[in-house]
């Protein structure tokens, strides 16, 4: 509905009346709407938590199927419309970008905090007091994590602690069948590129290449670069040792006249002259490359069959149509320079590699190029194999999580123990401190402690155990033995000591989980007005 009105100067303007199509929620009703949306998302992810967690199958509008239990991937591919639910998606993405792991746990914790906040709201406690109590409890929990953390030396000669941490990350993934092998690959990749003086890892030097076929067990770490290309001519050599690479971004073709005039070839003689000119230009280009001492040309652009034939005749192997990112990685790995013009190519701009070889896969026509023993040994490629695209994608996500966790340990080598052990220890610490608080925030702090127990509860439930009974038992054991390493025995190993089970998480990741979840919940509790628009009304 619209109505035409006039202002004081007689200018017309239209008043749109869509109030009848709007619904406005304020105060407690708005907060409960937020909490309901967040709880729904958290409960969806809760069943994916832990080594026995269930996978989710996600079908896109284009009917692409994804099977995963990675929290960030599930939320990213879910069609979420509620604004607060979208905040949880951003929360999971923040955890994934910063830490790489714990994306499910952070959403489950945020959902639990909001769920317990709802019962406090029903008691009449103001949302700001709840948010303040949560903030205090969060600081106590993070400080307690520092107290119960262990540290180990990140030593390239002693990889076992790093491998155990990576195995904890991979234990809940589809790739868990060969998680020892993948953990070793992830650790070797990080140690190859890590700068221990600056305590940093350059992820740009680690490339993941996938190829359908084979099994996940066939995944290997290549100390070099793999390019999904082959030699431009089938008769070119399949292996080149002591390779000097010319990395070119200029096309192997005669220069085109930069005018709008066209060239008419009216006789056979003119055509022969043009053909001779093209051939001479190709031969000159090939000679320019060979004179620098190069024995392999990597070209970003293509070249035609005549140029390809001349390259073969002049014994200069070449690779064409190599993409920009691959070109850059080859240049970094081999220490070469990317050359945009043939006349700029000199011997000092060539890249060096010990061996360049073609990789074949059984009876298929697929071939890939492996560049090994490079000048810059820090560039590595993880070559992932799998039965189909779905397995490859999940394998890639799993290895990325493991790489992120090992990177975090290089930056900060402190760890806490998984299986809900850290959450239970923090819950006990927050409860003890809450009893010393005389103000209303005490209720919120106790609620925070209870919310932390939702993580071991979910782990127990997903492992087929009685959640309340299992968590209560572990909690009592932690108090009796004063041992913060005791957690939920998800894999039925017969011991609750997570140190014995080698279930390890990074301190930085766990702190980030608690901090991010608290900050998000604090933000949600401060929003008490929401307006929804129905029909064709505008928000």
Q: Is 68 a catalytic residue?
A: no
Contact 273, 297 (CB under 8 A): no
Q: Residue 51 phi/psi, 5° resolution?
A: -65, -25
Query: CA-CA distance, 186 to 100, in Å (whole number)?
Result: 13
Question: Given 66, 70, 169, 506, which residue is catalytic?
Answer: 70
Gyration radius (Cα) of the chain, Å: 31
Helix (H/G/I), strand (E/B), else coil: 318: strand
Task: State the DSSP H helix or E strand holding residue 129, giving kind and residue range, or none if neither.
Answer: helix 127-148
Q: Is 393 a catalytic residue?
A: no
Q: Residue 25 phi/psi, 5° resolution?
A: -110, 135
Query: CA-CA distance, 347 to 335, in Å (whole number)?
Result: 12
Question: Given 132, 401, 450, 489, which residue is catalytic?
Answer: 401
Q: Is 103 a catalytic residue?
A: yes
310-347: buried (b, 16+ CB within 10 Å) or exposed (e) per residue? bbbeeebbbbbebeeebbebbbbbbbbbbbeebeebee
Query: CA-CA distance, 3 to 85, in Å (whole number)?
Result: 36
Query: CA-CA distance, 434 to 117, in Å (whole number)?
Result: 16
- In this structure, what DSSP letter does residue 197 have? T
Contact 53, 71 (CB under 8 A): no
Question: Given 47, 66, 104, 334, which residue is catalytic?
Answer: 104
The dihedral over CA atoms of 27, 30, 31, 36, expressed in degrees to the nearest 10, equals 160
Query: CA-CA distance, 19 to 22, in Å (whole number)?
Result: 5
Closest CA to 178 of 226, 223, 214: 214
Residue 172: which residues within 8 A CB-CB, separation 6 or more? 48, 49, 50, 51, 53, 69
Q: Is 401 a catalytic residue?
A: yes
Question: Given 73, 103, 169, 470, which residue is catalytic?
Answer: 103
Task: State the catalytic residues.
Answer: 70, 103-104, 401
């Amino acid at each position: 509905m619209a109505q035409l009105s006039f202002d004081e100067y007689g200018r017309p303007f239209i008043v749109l009346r869509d109030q009848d199509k709007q619904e406005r929620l304020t105060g407690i009703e708005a907060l409960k709407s937020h909490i309901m949306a967040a709880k729904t998302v958290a409960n969806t992810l809760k069943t994916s938590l832990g080594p026995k967690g269930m996978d989710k199958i996600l079908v896109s509008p284009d009917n692409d199927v994804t099977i995963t239990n990675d929290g960030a991937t599930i939320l990213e591919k879910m069609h979420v419309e509620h604004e607060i639910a979208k905040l949880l998606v951003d929360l999971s993405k923040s955890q994934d970008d910063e830490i790489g792991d714990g994306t499910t746990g952070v959403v489950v914790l945020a959902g639990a905090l909001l769920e317990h906040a709802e019962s406090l709201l029903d008691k009449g406690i103001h949302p700001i007091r709840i948010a303040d109590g949560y903030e205090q409890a969060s600081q106590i929990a993070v400080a307690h994590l520092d107290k119960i953390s262990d540290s180990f030396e990140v030593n390239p000669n002693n990889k076992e602690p790093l491998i155990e941490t990576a195995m904890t990350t991979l234990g809940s993934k589809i790739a868990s069948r060969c998680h020892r092998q993948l953990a070793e690959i992830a650790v070797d990749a990080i140690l190859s590129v890590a700068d221990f003086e600056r305590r940093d890892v350059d992820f740009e030097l680690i490339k993941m290449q996938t190829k359908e076929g084979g099994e996940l067990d066939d995944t290997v770490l290549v100390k070099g670069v793999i390019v999904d290309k082959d030699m431009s001519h089938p008769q070119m050599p399949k292996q080149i040792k002591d390779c000097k690479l010319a990395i070119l971004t200029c096309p192997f073709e005669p220069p085109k006249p930069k005018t709008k005039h066209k060239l008419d070839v009216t006789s056979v003689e003119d055509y022969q002259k043009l053909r001779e000119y093209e051939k001479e230009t190709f031969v000159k280009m090939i000679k320019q490359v060979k004179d620098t001492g190069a024995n392999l040309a990597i070209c970003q652009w293509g070249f035609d069959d005549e140029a390809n034939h001349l390259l073969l005749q002049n014994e200069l192997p070449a690779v064409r149509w190599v993409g920009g990112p691959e070109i850059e990685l080859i240049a970094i790995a081999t220490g070469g320079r990317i050359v945009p013009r043939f006349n700029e190519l000199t011997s000092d701009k060539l890249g060096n590699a010990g061996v360049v070889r073609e990789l074949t896969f059984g009876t298929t026509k697929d071939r890939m190029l492996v560049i090994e023993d490079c000048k810059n040994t820090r560039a590595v490629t993880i070559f992932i194999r799998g039965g189909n695209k779905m397995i490859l994608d999940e394998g890639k996500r799993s290895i990325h999580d493991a790489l992120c966790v090992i990177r975090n340990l290089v930056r900060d080598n402190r760890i806490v123990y998984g299986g809900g052990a850290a959450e239970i220890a923090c819950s006990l610490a927050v409860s003890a401190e809450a009893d010393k608080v005389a103000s209303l925030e005490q209720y919120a702090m106790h609620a925070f402690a209870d919310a932390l127990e939702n993580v071991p509860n979910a782990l127990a439930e997903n492992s087929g155990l009685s959640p309340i009974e299992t968590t209560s038992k572990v909690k009592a054991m932690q108090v009796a033995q004063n041992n913060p390493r005791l957690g939920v025995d998800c894999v039925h190993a017969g011991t609750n000591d997570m140190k014995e089970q080698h279930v390890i998480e990074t301190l930085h990741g766990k702190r980030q989980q608690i901090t991010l979840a608290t900050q998000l919940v604090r933000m949600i509790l401060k929003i008490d007005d929401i307006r929804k628009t129905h029909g064709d009304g505008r928000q």
